[in-house]
Chains A and B, each alone.
Chain A
Amino acid sequence: MTPLDPITLSVIQAGLSQTCDEMDLAFTRAAFSPVIAEANDRADGIYSAEDGSLIAQGPDGLPVFVGAMQESTRVLVERIRAGITAAPEPGDVYIVNDPYLGGTHLMDVRFARPFYRDGKIWCWLSNTGHWPDTGGAVPGGFSASATSVEQEGLRLPPVRLFKKGVLDQEIYQIICSNIRVAEQRIGDVKAQAAALDVGAARLEKLLDRYGDAVVEQAIAELRARAAEQTRAHIRAIPEGRFEATAWVDSDGVVNEPLAIRLAVERAGDGLVFDFAGSSPPCTGPMNSVRSTTLSAVYLAMRHIFPDVPISAGAFEPLEVRGIEGTFLDAHYPRPVSGCAAETSQRIAEAVFLALVNAIPDKVTAAPAGTSGNFGLGGSDPAKGRNFVMYQLSGGGYGGSALGDGLSNGCSTIGISKAPPVEIMEQQFPILFRRYALREGSGGAGTARGGLGLDYEIELRRGEARASFVMDHGRFGPPGARGGADGAPNTIEVVRGGVSHVPQHLSKEQDIAMRPGDRVRVGTPGGGGYGDPFARDAEAVAEDVRLGRVSAKDAAALYGVAVADGAVDPAATDALRARRDREVS
């Protein structure tokens, strides 16, 4: 076969990526679930017919799905081959949400559709969307105290929801009978399937234009080149072993921290991520499944090297080891609802913390790293109906060689937009008393960590129960290279004027609330980067002027004396010299 010219290769790469873009767009715009439509908690991609490996995925797909969907498709292909799952016919679409079959948590529902050329499956088109509810003990599925997956919701193995293009009403009715707010799901189901149709139509055109053989050759070549691009980045990492530990506050049931122990080792032009020694599977829902753990490592590397196009090749030089027997590779029936939103972020954090010392100009100190899930369910007497509310929050990002961390950035594994306060108050019987930057929360450093969010919500009427699945309540996001940790997450529930702090700090379920009761949350600030005493004194003074850092902290943490919003040079010199004396 003659080698492809690099230009045709670029053009086909653009065509594959646009196919995914178009699927993403169609899915988002037609979806009902606000988590998909507003928060973009979805992804669409193209996967190999042979082994499900990733051919292309939209650049705006939710990061945590980046590696999970190729696992999911691989498992589907293997099950069909083994005769466990019924073989497809043209027009069929499979539905699956089983976490142990290449998934994340139950709410992430995957659709997969075989794409045929000349009567043979040429590739798979697949997408994932976060459904607002899939049944289980608590509305929305984030049960902080579940001890088995059955309590988390309905679990679907891969079954054909569409057969020859027609929705199977029997399967659909089983699903609807087992989930909350079922009446709107038909809109999401149709949108999710229609997005795959859009992808099929576009791919058809691409193949017709360039020819199947050329596109196949291009896919193989692109995969090899993405692998080479990752390897080129890896070769710039110094040889050695870089270790870090990231801590999950607790599993929600047993109040003890869980450790993610990671050693990253460069072997030639590959990287080995060894998680041996991490905590064993846990009782509560902070377990991760293999596919989510892999995905978390991949997405962390993509945050570090964002220029490598998303394909299986990009991940080839990355090897994950040592997860067997730990809570990062949980099996049935361990509960897993925290894996996609929280544990995956701690895994990414471990990757950042290990590599920030190896390639300090490419990696940030730890970001807030929690999705800040606050769920409130109850009844609204004024509207005569029940409601389920989620408040997901951002936090500060870590400082880096490039500058201070962003304030109120979204989770490491997401790219979602927060709903406006005004929309939340229109829909739910609540009142925000405050929605503000969390002053003083950024970890001190030469580059300061970004600020977290500080909000307070009051229940206006009716009765409700509050649940929290957050993290970094016990330990703030770690600083790097001499920077201080960001402020830890805080939760306080004020009931009848009495303050209550969850025993697990960042997790609790079913706290009863009455009108006038309030929830106060402070989300984590980002970790600082570099010695705070080396921070530009003028930048510290600006932080004080803008209320990001108090004058007291400026002196204590940064050694900068600020009076009336300006640096006092003499006092600053004295402060900074004193510490240097103490250190030496």
Chain B
Amino acid sequence: MSVVAGVDVGGTFTDLVWLDEGTRAVRLAKAPTTPRNQAFGVLAAFEQAGVDVGGVDLIVHGTTATTNAVLERRLSRAGMIATEGFRDIIELGRRTRPQAYGMTGSFTPVIPRDLRLEVSERMDAEGNVLTPLDEDALRAAAARLLEAGCESVVVHFLHAYANPAHEIRAGEILSEIWPNAYVTLGHALLSESREFERGVTASVNASVQPLLQRYVDRLAEELRDRGYAHDLLVMNGNGGMVSARMVAREAAKTVMSGPASGVMAAAYTGRRAGAPDLLTYDMGGTSTDVALIRDAKPAVSNEIEVEYAMPIHVPMVDVRTVGAGGGSIARVNASGLLEVGPESAGADPGPICYGRGGTRPTISDANLLLGRLDPSRLNAVEGGVRIEDVARVFEAELGAPLGLSATEAASAVIRVANARMAGAIRMVSLSLGEDPRDFALFAFGGAGPLHAVALARELGVPRVLVPARPGITNALGCVVADLRHDFVNTVNRPLDGADMDEVHAVFARRIEEGRALIAQESVAVERIETICSADMQFIGQTHLLRVALDGPAPAREDLQARFERAYWDRFRVSLPEIRPSLVNLSVSVIGVRREIDLALLIDPEGRRATVAEARTGLRPVWFDGGWTDTPVYRREHLPWDAVIDGPAIVEQLDATLVIDPGCTARGDADGNLMIEIGGAA
């Protein structure tokens, strides 16, 4: 039995989940994030929870340190040494533009041009040396970069995925002269062709490495000072965790750390709740993260693009961001149509109802006007905004041009926002080859449960799963995550000509490597799982289709059959005329940790015997064109096997769930609510 703590540092709040498996005690905390040094927020959360850091056996940490550094370009000074003639690769990009329409917009590369130097060396596509590495030039380049104040360095040579000898030799030379370990070799992080994507991935890695290392060192030290005697683990973007000692080496993998942990928590919760196929929906202030989970396994992508022309091609949980959140602004456009987003009031000034000076109508304000959020909470707002003030803005900015009352305008905002978000969620699932109607919607984040039922209706999704603690899902993900290592190997051969013995050997070697890495960690695991898959295509295609395998030794015919079936399922096209090609072999090695009892998340002592006892009142809520007196329940007071028929509102500390008329919510032993969506989509 042990004591485990998960800490997620988000943009606004630092969340903590603390679990003592021995005494079955749970503590939760939500402290403001401290952007300058996130460690302070982490310590404040422990303090708020009133738990002793020294008594914790395992701390797992999800961080936005690298995400924010990349998005806000607060990066360490990194330099690059590239093949002669190719230092501009990361600036030229793939010859695109930020939007399909509009000839304006700009792009700034992660490493500026004057810190990108060239040395003479060249491989061809087959990995033959055409020009030997000029080692003296390399030394001189390194010296120049150091003189220019670079803290980290990238070596990015053409075709290093085919033959890394020059990059490896460059790494040896740099290890003698570079004053620290911040040396990123392009092929080491991503051994695939496509020099722009590989170069940017390596550049991002080098640019966040020193920041991440300093941050985790500081945090580990602060925790140690307070008596924590074990290894600090950090959540990776692939949904597995890795020791703070090793995390900076592949720092780029932490860029999706926060969203990945939320998705891992969803997969875990869904599996236990009998809903292993989920679309996760995390609605925040400015944006919404959507991900897909099939059979309790989150979809993983090697092709995440963090923003325009910023690809990070290492395996990470495939979380897509949709530009709509509680702060999205509604307006009537020049042709008289209502639009919601993408412009957002953000956190500051935020929606009108925050009372921080926001003056534009937002989704959150609409929820308030319709009684979906508790209007009496406005009293707690310091700026002293009254509901009439919000109504007046809706009346003037939206109602008047549309010929609607303030309430009708608010209802329209919710409807349009839901239609847009549903469309975006549908595109995410379709682009992954899945029909949204085969899934349950897993709603979390502060605003997720407000919209989930209506969205599910729009999507034709039959069920919505709301976890016990929607507001701290990311922190929970840290607690339940496994250890995980992903590998991708490029084969790129026609299936007919692939050496199957070699294929099996690659799988076996990578599995061995993953096991060895997991053995190095100080965390106990119950068992090791491996997931093998192949990326395949028809010869002549450029897009890949991931084909799941049931083991590391597939027969050639088996690969062929699985690919054809997957292709038919995805495109309804069969092509017996054309032969398939085997492009990549992927392996994930997962150290599965002991199961944690989620029932602890809501204190059993607080639960009442009946649903009626959990009821806190009745308030008018706008549904389907009219006001309905709607019962309001306290989530923490609901009996675990509660059954609630809509319309109903369920409130808890950090989230509000709206259950529309015709839908029924049922509680389960883990404290989840599963809502069956009634009525046709």
Binding site for B on A (CB under 8 A): 6-7, 9-11, 13-15, 17-18, 21-22, 25-26, 28-32, 34, 37-38, 59-60, 63, 183-184, 186-187, 190-191, 194, 197, 209, 225-226, 228-229, 232-233, 299, 302-303, 306-308, 352, 364, 367, 392-394, 397-398, 400, 402-404, 406-410, 412, 415-418, 420-423, 425-426, 431-437, 453, 456, 545-548
Closest Cβ of chain A to B646, distance in Å, is: 21
Q: Give A82 to B80 CA distance when docked, in angstroms.
A: 65
> Does B23 touch A at the CB level, under 8 Å?
no
Inter-chain contact B96/A402, CB cutoff 8 Å: no
> Does B130 touch A at the CB level, under 8 Å?
yes
> Does B380 touch A at the CB level, under 8 Å?
no
User: Hey, which chain B residues are within 8 Å of A226, CB to CB?
Assistant: 335
Inter-chain contact B103/A408, CB cutoff 8 Å: no
> Does B387 touch A at the CB level, under 8 Å?
no
Q: Give A34 to B85 CA distance when docked, in angstroms.
A: 26
Inter-chain contact B100/A400, CB cutoff 8 Å: no
Inter-chain contact B338/A6, CB cutoff 8 Å: yes
Inter-chain contact A306/B412, CB cutoff 8 Å: no
Q: Give A209 to B572 CA distance when docked, in angstroms.
A: 25
Q: Give A394 to B193 CA distance when docked, in angstroms.
A: 21
Closest Cβ of chain A to B75, distance in Å, is: 17
Looking at the complex, which one of B85, B94, B538 makes contact with A32 (CB distance below 8 Å)?
A: B538
Q: Give A420 to B337 CA distance when docked, in angstroms.
A: 42
List the one stretch of B232-240, B573-581, B615-623 in contact with chain A. Answer: B573-581
Q: Give A397 to B420 CA distance when docked, in angstroms.
A: 32
Whose C-beta in chain B lies nearest to the C-beta of A7?
B412
Closest Cβ of chain B to A364, distance in Å, is: 5
List the one stretch of B218-226, B369-377, B426-434, B591-599 in contact with chain A. Answer: B426-434
Among B103, B104, B105, B415: residue with most chain A CB under 10 A: B103
User: Hey, which chain A residues are within 8 Å of B538, CB to CB?
Assistant: 32, 187
> Does B168 touch A at the CB level, under 8 Å?
no
Q: Give A404 to B338 CA distance when docked, in angstroms.
A: 33
Inter-chain contact A229/B130, CB cutoff 8 Å: no
User: Hey, which chain B residues are within 8 Å of A421, CB to CB?
Assistant: 86, 89, 158, 195
> Does B520 touch A at the CB level, under 8 Å?
no
Closest Cβ of chain B to A300, distance in Å, is: 9
Inter-chain contact A407/B97, CB cutoff 8 Å: no
Whose C-beta in chain B lies nearest to the C-beta of A8?
B415
Closest Cβ of chain A to B582, distance in Å, is: 16
Assuming the contacts A18-B426, A32-B541, A421-B158, asked whether A6 and B412 have C-beta atoms less than 8 A apart, the reply is: yes
User: Hey, which chain A residues are within 8 Å of B542, CB to CB?
Assistant: 34, 37-38
Inter-chain contact B96/A410, CB cutoff 8 Å: yes
Assuming the contacts A422-B195, A423-B193, asked whether A306 and B101 have C-beta atoms less than 8 A apart, the reply is: yes
Closest Cβ of chain A to B129, distance in Å, is: 13
User: Hey, which chain A residues are within 8 Å of B572, CB to CB?
Assistant: 194, 197
Assuming the contacts A10-B338, A404-B106, A547-B113, asked whether A422 and B100 have C-beta atoms less than 8 A apart, the reply is: no
Q: Give A426 to B128 CA distance when docked, in angstroms.
A: 12
Q: Give A509 to B130 CA distance when docked, in angstroms.
A: 31
Inter-chain contact A11/B571, CB cutoff 8 Å: no
Q: Give A314 to B105 CA distance when docked, in angstroms.
A: 23
Which chain B residues (372-431) contact chain A, with CB distance < 8 Å? 402, 412, 415-416, 419-420, 423, 426-427, 430-431
Instruction: Give me 19 other A-B pairs in contact (C-beta within 8 A), A10-B416, A410-B96 excluded.
Output: A9-B337, A11-B416, A15-B423, A184-B540, A184-B578, A186-B577, A232-B335, A303-B102, A406-B104, A406-B105, A412-B103, A415-B97, A416-B95, A417-B95, A420-B193, A420-B194, A420-B196, A432-B86, A546-B112
Whose C-beta in chain B lies nearest to the C-beta of A426?
B125
Q: Give A190 to B572 CA distance when docked, in angstroms.
A: 9
Whose C-beta in chain A lies nearest to the C-beta of B576?
A186
Q: Give A584 to B521 CA distance when docked, in angstroms.
A: 75
Closest Cβ of chain B to A62, distance in Å, is: 9
Which chain B residues (326-373) contact chain A, with CB distance < 8 Å? 333-339
User: Hey, which chain A residues are within 8 Å of B416, CB to CB?
Assistant: 7, 10-11
19 contacts between A and B (CB under 8 A): A6-B338, A7-B338, A7-B412, A7-B415, A187-B540, A303-B103, A397-B104, A402-B104, A404-B106, A415-B97, A420-B94, A420-B193, A422-B161, A423-B194, A425-B125, A425-B159, A432-B85, A546-B114, A548-B113
Inter-chain contact A229/B335, CB cutoff 8 Å: yes
Assuming the contacts A32-B541, A397-B97, A404-B106, asked whether A547 and B114 have C-beta atoms less than 8 A apart, the reply is: yes
User: Hey, which chain B residues are within 8 Å of A393, CB to CB?
Assistant: 95
Looking at the complex, which one of B88, B158, B423, B571 makes contact with A422 (CB distance below 8 Å)?
A: B158
Assuming the contacts A7-B416, A187-B540, A187-B575, asked whether A434 and B96 have C-beta atoms less than 8 A apart, the reply is: no
> Does B609 touch A at the CB level, under 8 Å?
no
Looking at the complex, which one of B85, B100, B124 makes contact with A425 (CB distance below 8 Å)?
A: B124
Looking at the complex, which one of B97, B336, B412, B578 makes contact with A187 (CB distance below 8 Å)?
A: B578
Inter-chain contact B577/A228, CB cutoff 8 Å: no
Closest Cβ of chain B to A134, distance in Å, is: 17
> Does B91 touch A at the CB level, under 8 Å?
yes
Closest Cβ of chain B to A128, distance in Å, is: 16
Whose C-beta in chain B lies nearest to the C-beta of A232?
B334
Q: Give A493 to B678 CA distance when docked, in angstroms.
A: 70
Question: What are the nearest 9 A-B pairs in CB distance?
Answer: A394-B95, A229-B335, A418-B95, A225-B335, A434-B85, A306-B101, A417-B94, A422-B193, A425-B125
User: Hey, which chain B residues are within 8 Å of A9, CB to CB?
Assistant: 337
Whose C-beta in chain B lies nearest to the C-beta of A418?
B95
Inter-chain contact A453/B430, CB cutoff 8 Å: no
- Interface bits B118-152 vs A (CB < 8 Å: 1, else 0): 00000011000010000000000000000000000
Whose C-beta in chain A lies nearest to the C-beta of B99?
A306
Inter-chain contact A6/B89, CB cutoff 8 Å: no
Looking at the complex, which one of B95, B336, B540, B570 makes contact with A410 (CB distance below 8 Å)?
A: B95
Whose C-beta in chain A lies nearest to the C-beta of B460?
A205
Looking at the complex, which one of B85, B112, B415 makes contact with A435 (CB distance below 8 Å)?
A: B85
Assuming the contacts A406-B106, A426-B125, A546-B112, asked whether A420 and B195 have C-beta atoms less than 8 A apart, the reply is: yes
Closest Cβ of chain A to B625, distance in Å, is: 11
Inter-chain contact B336/A303, CB cutoff 8 Å: no
Q: Give A546 to B114 CA distance when docked, in angstroms.
A: 5
> Does B635 touch A at the CB level, under 8 Å?
no
Closest Cβ of chain A to B94, distance in Å, is: 4
User: Hey, which chain A residues are within 8 Å of B196, CB to CB?
Assistant: 420
User: Hey, which chain B residues are within 8 Å of A190, CB to CB?
Assistant: 573, 575
Closest Cβ of chain A to B269, distance in Å, is: 30
User: Hey, which chain A residues are within 8 Å of B415, CB to CB?
Assistant: 7, 11
Q: Give A393 to B94 CA distance when docked, in angstroms.
A: 10
Q: Give A410 to B97 CA distance when docked, in angstroms.
A: 7
User: Hey, which chain A residues are within 8 Å of B95, CB to CB?
Assistant: 392-394, 408-410, 416-418, 453
Among A11, A59, A412: residue with most chain B CB under 10 A: A11
User: Hey, which chain B residues are within 8 Å of A21, CB to CB?
Assistant: 427
Closest Cβ of chain B to A366, distance in Å, is: 10
Closest Cβ of chain B to A402, distance in Å, is: 5
Q: Give A186 to B576 CA distance when docked, in angstroms.
A: 10
Inter-chain contact B571/A26, CB cutoff 8 Å: yes
> Does B87 touch A at the CB level, under 8 Å?
yes
Inter-chain contact A408/B93, CB cutoff 8 Å: yes
User: Hey, which chain B residues are within 8 Å of A197, CB to CB?
Assistant: 572
Looking at the complex, which one of B112, B336, B427 makes contact with A6 (CB distance below 8 Å)?
A: B336
> Does B107 touch A at the CB level, under 8 Å?
yes
> Does B92 touch A at the CB level, under 8 Å?
yes
User: Hey, which chain B residues are within 8 Å of A453, CB to CB?
Assistant: 92, 95
Closest Cβ of chain B to A452, distance in Å, is: 10
> Does B543 touch A at the CB level, under 8 Å?
yes
Whose C-beta in chain B lies nearest to the C-beta of A33?
B540
Looking at the complex, which one of B97, B333, B430, B571 makes contact with A307 (CB distance below 8 Å)?
A: B333
Q: Give A418 to B334 CA distance when docked, in angstroms.
A: 36
Inter-chain contact B85/A364, CB cutoff 8 Å: no
Whose C-beta in chain B lies nearest to the C-beta of A424?
B125
Inter-chain contact B100/A233, CB cutoff 8 Å: no
Looking at the complex, which one of A398, A417, A435 makes contact with B89 (CB distance below 8 Å)?
A: A435
Closest Cβ of chain B to A445, distance in Å, is: 14
Inter-chain contact B103/A22, CB cutoff 8 Å: no
